[in-house]
Structure 1
Amino acid sequence: MEREEVLMGVFSRWFDRWALRTQKREMQSFVDQLAAMDGAEIGLLLAVATHMRNTLEDEGKMLMDPIVTVPIDPTPILILRGMISEYQKSRSMSDAAAAMVWLHTMRVGARHELRGTARVMWRELSRGMPHVAGASVDVYRVTGQFPRTYGYEEFPKGLTPEPV
């Protein structure tokens, strides 16, 4: 019995390190993509991501305090992963990217090692804040509906780009 426990412990530690490396790599790749975008492009992403956040919060999924939320209820991470997969299958890449904003944000609640990269992500996203209103008009032209962007200028708790 002891040997099985030791093997499970070794496997568990290996899997944990692998998962952290994978999540770091995915988040850094996303941040690199944001860094290559201009403010208007990020404004569109932020408008869609904020609409998504407001919709999920209406459904009871709290996304703006990941460090508190995820240890209590990790289901938003699973929901977001599923959403990303579905959006990618349907080739809705702007929606997939918006869901990635929240997946990477929520992962910080489970993996504090990701917090620094998440702050950089939100710094990049903040470049789009001045463009959200214009992007909302663009979304309206395409979909016939304005995205719900209230709160777009807020940062998730613990992830302000410049901590004070």
Structure 2
Amino acid sequence: MGMFARLISSWAIKGQKKDLQRFIDQLAAMDSGEIGFVLAIATHLRNNLEESGYRLMDPLIDYPADPTVVIRLQRLIREFQRTGAMSDAAGAMVWMHTMRVGGQHELRGLARKMWGELARGMPHVVGASVDVYRLTNKFPNTSGYDQYPQGLTPTPT
């Protein structure tokens, strides 16, 4: 890799670390019930995306198989934001940050912290699903909400 490419890569990693840390800080400021709502939406989104061909639960394998996944998730986030669907945007951010780990292994420690914050919401996902239903008249598909992506458990075993 040339010097210019290394410089660009270093700049990109710094920006991605900053974005991920900001997201972690937002999660850290939330109550567990609020995180349960974000996790319910993120899980519903993951299940829908996987039905349409995305693979999101093993970023170290899935990202190299499809490096465009992060760009597609970024577009989805922008669309959610444009339409005012901020909860959906937050759910998509979970997967964007997760998948970035597959391309930038330096993000893995921060992604583990993100999943540690998300874990605080796991006991509240069922209740949050009722809240989602009240807002949308549709129950979210939260199957697998208590599973971590491969390699991103909060505490490595």
TM-score range, shorter chain: over 0.9
Runs of 4+ aligned structure 1 residues displaced above 6 Å come to none
Match for 1:9 among 2, 19, 23?
Answer: 2
Q: Which amino acid aligns with 2:84?
A: R
Matched, 1:44 2:37: yes
Structure 1 vs Structure 2: percent identity of aligned residues?
60
CA deviation vs aligned residue, 1:33-61 (integer Å, no higher than 9, x gap): 00000000000000000000000100110
Residue 69 of structure 2 corresponds to 76
- Counterpart CA distance in 2 for 1:75 and 1:160 is 24
Q: Normalised by the size of structure 1, how large is the TM-score?
A: 0.93
Confirm or deny that 1:158 pairs with 2:155: no
Distance in structure 1 (CA, Å) of the matches to 2:115 and 2:37: 15
Equivalent residue number for residue 99 of structure 1: 92
**Alpha-carbon distance in 1 for matches of 2:29, 2:52:** 33
Structure 2 gaps, min length 5: none
- Alignment of 1:67 onto 2:60: yes
Match of 2:105 in 1: 112
2:114 and 2:107 map into 1 onto residues whose CA distance is: 11
The RMSD of aligned alpha carbons is 1.0
Deviation, 1:91, is 1.6
The counterpart of 1:32, out of the listed 25, 32, 35, is: 25
Matches of 1:142 and 1:73, distance apart in 2: 34
- Partners of 1:70 and 1:109 in 2: CA distance: 5
Deviation at 1:98, TM superposition (A): 0.5
Report how far residue 10 of structure 1 moved: 2.8
Aligned to 2:2, the other structure's residue is in SS state helix
TM-score, length basis structure 2? 0.97
What SS is found at the alignment partner of 2:100? helix
